[in-house]
Chains A and B, each alone.
Chain A
């Protein structure tokens, strides 16, 4: 589904991603961990094509096609979707307004999805306009549920979400990744998490640790998470079993 090949990315003069490579086969969900500022969000953003990031070298291949230079909207139409860590606020566009546009486009019943995600009361508000952390995450997932991308990039879905809503978010991700039946798993995901809570709702196949713009480690996501919880990221760097070293 997705192959990132030796991708190096600069923001301004600074190198943020340093020869990052990974492959996510169709139907698999991979988890990305790493300390603050290590470049996780940047990786997701550059796969989506956002912002003022400059790809210095390397390629992004999506379903066999090199998308490294494609505009954002074309990537979206090919089937890449992103739930951002911090989404910008658009007071001009109501959540309902956008949901309607997307509902028409992707032929989805946005109303029932909004209800399922506890978003009804947010519909008349401007997008992310003074939304709380959890509201913002749910609104983001609502849009993705309408969009139904093949590849789902999710940046810290659980941050700022309370215990009740984390189940709502978890279910939505589960639904998005069509993880119900293993045999028709076609949707893939790349999910960033610090807390690991989201692992309770997803069948994650692979995990990575990013430090200073490099993927330093990969393995079973639950094992990795346990390792990090015990020894911190330093332990992870030192980990002898790591395939990447």
Chain B
């Protein structure tokens, strides 16, 4: 036991050292900013609240977190640095584990084998800051063979002006298990500025299936840098749904899925509405290493106001029997918005791999709106129907909660006028 502790200590020291070295290293993509501005005592552990107030319950609900835990199998909620929910609902005891990462690391020595294994600690200053100033994050583990029908929910909430969250999450779907996680990141309405750094590592074991839906609800002056890695074993599958409909100052993320196991599959779906002065740089990377691996990265983005939206996507094939597809579609809703799509395909010593991409950026077609108007739809209704469809068409199996969000968003855009 003592020996193990000593080893862990060494690992920790090495990580801290690497992080310290990288603390000023700019991110590969996205606009630069200084995370140190948001390291202060605003959002540290205060432990004042044990429960969510009525108002905060509403905030949580908007990001898909049900404080009543109806129709949920397990819940984790962290407000600033305080953990308010970490529980499994009765029926699912013995099928799911959910707790703060600190507690999990204490409980399981083996968890260190999953710590910073799919994301590099020294990738940039944001990973470095997460390691150096980490407070919380969730540990979710779906036990071998467990079929968890009801969603597991998590919520990372920020309530302090100019504060920040630096979380490190680990999700393990053990062999043969299946589950769906709905995760919301949100700020309470009074908070205007702050920073969110989140490292999330997914391990999807042999034959396991994991679906992860993330809803982002930030404020207009927020800086957000999620860092995500996914490792898939044989016959594992992973679906990532990402939705961003609210303004944010600056958001850059480029999750990476490593399809190591034979026949593993991964799909990234993103629905983005760039608003106000948001600067968004969003992408995903699929590394198809195993034989017969399959990947898909599908994004739909609408750029409004003065938003700048950059959509990336990268497919890397290392296996001849790999197949993957990339689809970026962007719609410009304002004269001042900017949009760019950068699809990348790369084949590494696998000449028979099959990769393809489709990218399109354009305005909403006047002709299409008029066509619908000939059926009696008002200009707003026509616009809304087109945007709604644009955001959803081609994205299979979107959870109901996201469908609703997209519909409401389309409605609000068209009401605001183009």
A129's nearest neighbour on chain B, judged by CB, is B393
Q: Any chain B CB within 8 A of the CB of A93?
A: yes
Chain A, range 60-109, C-beta contacts under 8 Å to B:
71-73, 76-77, 81-82, 84, 87-88, 90-94, 97-98, 101-102, 105-106
CA distance A91 to B365 in the complex (A): 11
Q: Any chain B CB within 8 A of the CB of A48?
A: yes
Q: Any chain A CB within 8 A of the CB of B378?
A: yes
Report whether over half of chain B's contact residues are helix, strand or loop; otherwise say mixed. Answer: helix
Smallest beta-carbon distance B133→chain A, Å: 43
Question: Of B367, B379, B387, which is within 8 A of A73 by CB?
Answer: B379
Asked whether B374 lies within 8 Å of A81 as measured between CB atoms, the reply is yes
Asked whether A94 lies within 8 Å of B374 as measured between CB atoms, the reply is no
Asked whether B373 lies within 8 Å of A72 as measured between CB atoms, the reply is yes
A73's nearest neighbour on chain B, judged by CB, is B373
Asked whether B367 lies within 8 Å of A48 as measured between CB atoms, the reply is no
Q: Any chain B CB within 8 A of the CB of A116?
A: no
Q: How many residues of A contact B (CB 8 A)?
A: 28
Asked whether A90 lies within 8 Å of B386 as measured between CB atoms, the reply is yes
CA distance A90 to B372 in the complex (A): 10
Q: Any chain A CB within 8 A of the CB of B376?
A: yes
Question: Of B370, B378, B385, which is within 8 A of A93 by CB?
Answer: B385
Give the chain A neighbours of B114 by CB distance below 8 A: none
Provided the pairs A50-B370, A76-B375, A81-B374 are in contact, do residues A98 and B385 lie with their beta carbons within 8 angstroms?
Answer: yes
Give the chain A neighbours of B381 by CB distance below 8 A: 101
Asked whether B376 lies within 8 Å of A105 as measured between CB atoms, the reply is yes
Q: Any chain A CB within 8 A of the CB of B45?
A: no
Most buried by A among B374, B376, B386, B387: B374
Provided the pairs A73-B376, A73-B377, A105-B376 are in contact, do residues A97 and B370 lie with their beta carbons within 8 angstroms?
Answer: no
Asked whether B386 lies within 8 Å of A73 as measured between CB atoms, the reply is no
Chain B, range 376-406, C-beta contacts under 8 Å to A:
376-379, 381-382, 385-390, 393
Residue-wise interface mask of B (52-80) relative to A, using a CB-CB cutoff of 8 A (1 in contact, 0 not): 00000000000000000000000000000
Chain A, range 193-235, C-beta contacts under 8 Å to B:
none
Asked whether A97 lies within 8 Å of B385 as measured between CB atoms, the reply is yes
Asked whether B372 lies within 8 Å of A98 as measured between CB atoms, the reply is yes
Q: Any chain B CB within 8 A of the CB of A58?
A: no
Q: Any chain B CB within 8 A of the CB of A51?
A: yes
Give the chain A neighbours of B111 by CB distance below 8 A: none
Asked whether B370 lies within 8 Å of A102 as measured between CB atoms, the reply is no
Asked whether B373 lies within 8 Å of A76 as measured between CB atoms, the reply is yes
A78's nearest neighbour on chain B, judged by CB, is B376
Asked whether A92 lies within 8 Å of B393 as measured between CB atoms, the reply is yes
Asked whether B393 lies within 8 Å of A143 as measured between CB atoms, the reply is no
Give the chain B neighbours of A90 by CB distance below 8 A: 365, 368, 371-372, 386, 389
Chain B, range 326-364, C-beta contacts under 8 Å to A:
none
Q: Any chain B CB within 8 A of the CB of A126?
A: yes
Asked whether B389 lies within 8 Å of A92 as measured between CB atoms, the reply is yes
Question: Of B374, B382, B393, which is within 8 A of A82 by CB?
Answer: B374
Give the chain B neighbours of A81 by CB distance below 8 A: 374-375
Asked whether B370 lies within 8 Å of A72 as measured between CB atoms, the reply is yes
CA distance A50 to B382 in the complex (A): 14
CA distance A97 to B379 in the complex (A): 17
CA distance A126 to B392 in the complex (A): 12
Asked whether B371 lies within 8 Å of A88 as measured between CB atoms, the reply is yes
Give the chain B neighbours of A94 by CB distance below 8 A: 389, 393
CA distance A112 to B117 in the complex (A): 57
Contact sample, A vs B, 21 pairs, CB 8 Å cutoff: A50-B370, A72-B370, A73-B373, A73-B376, A73-B382, A76-B375, A81-B374, A84-B371, A90-B368, A90-B371, A90-B389, A92-B387, A92-B389, A98-B375, A101-B377, A102-B375, A106-B376, A126-B389, A127-B371, A143-B375, A147-B375
B: residues with CB less than 8 A from A are 365, 367-368, 370-379, 381-382, 385-390, 393
Given A93-B372, A98-B375, 6 more pairs with CB closer than 8 A:
A71-B373, A93-B385, A93-B389, A94-B389, A94-B393, A98-B372
A: residues with CB less than 8 A from B are 48, 50-51, 71-73, 76-77, 81-82, 84, 87-88, 90-94, 97-98, 101-102, 105-106, 126-127, 143, 147
